[in-house]
Amino acid sequence: MEEQHKKGIKEIEATLQEIGHKIEELVKKGTSAGQDVKEEIEKKIRDLKEKKTTLEEELRKAKKVVEREYQERKKEYEPKLKESKGFLLEAFKQLGFAFEALFGKKA
């Protein structure tokens, strides 16, 4: 689930970069265009900048949510993982004793 969030965030970041490049292209075109076209391009630039700002804010919010969920789940599962680690170590220890008993210790 976390991988899907990371993938989604990376896709949003790529889209934001693409929007930034398109804004730069429009700015360049706007400087060499006539007055009517220039006003239209400036309007598009403002619209794109607003959308980019909105997307950036949504991205920040999404990152916070993912980080909070990760920390909550980490707190939830960490004690269980530590307990499981102890059981696993004990299992290996017992397995070692079983092999010693089965094959006998060579002295």
The yes-or-no verdict on residue 107 having pLDDT over 60 is no
| Number of residues that make up the chain | 107
Note the pTM of the prediction, 2 decimals.
0.47
How many helices and strands in the chain, by DSSP H and E?
Answer: 2, 0
What was the pLDDT predicted at 36? Answer: 72
Distance CA 32, CA 75 (A): 57
To the nearest whole number, what is the mean pLDDT of the chain?
80
For residues 81-96, b (16+ Cβ closer than 10 Å) or e, as one string? eeeeeeeeeeeeeeee
Check if the beta carbon of residue 2 is closer than 8 Å to that of residue 66.
Answer: yes
Phi-psi region of 105 (alpha: psi -120 to 50; beta: other; left: phi over 0): beta
> Residue 82's pLDDT band (boundaries 50, 70, 90)?
confident
Q: What is the pLDDT of residues 9-33, one digit of tens each?
A: 787 788 878 888 887 887 777 677 6
Burial class (CB in 10 A: 0-12, 13-18, 19+), 79: exposed
CB 65 within 8 A of CB 1: no
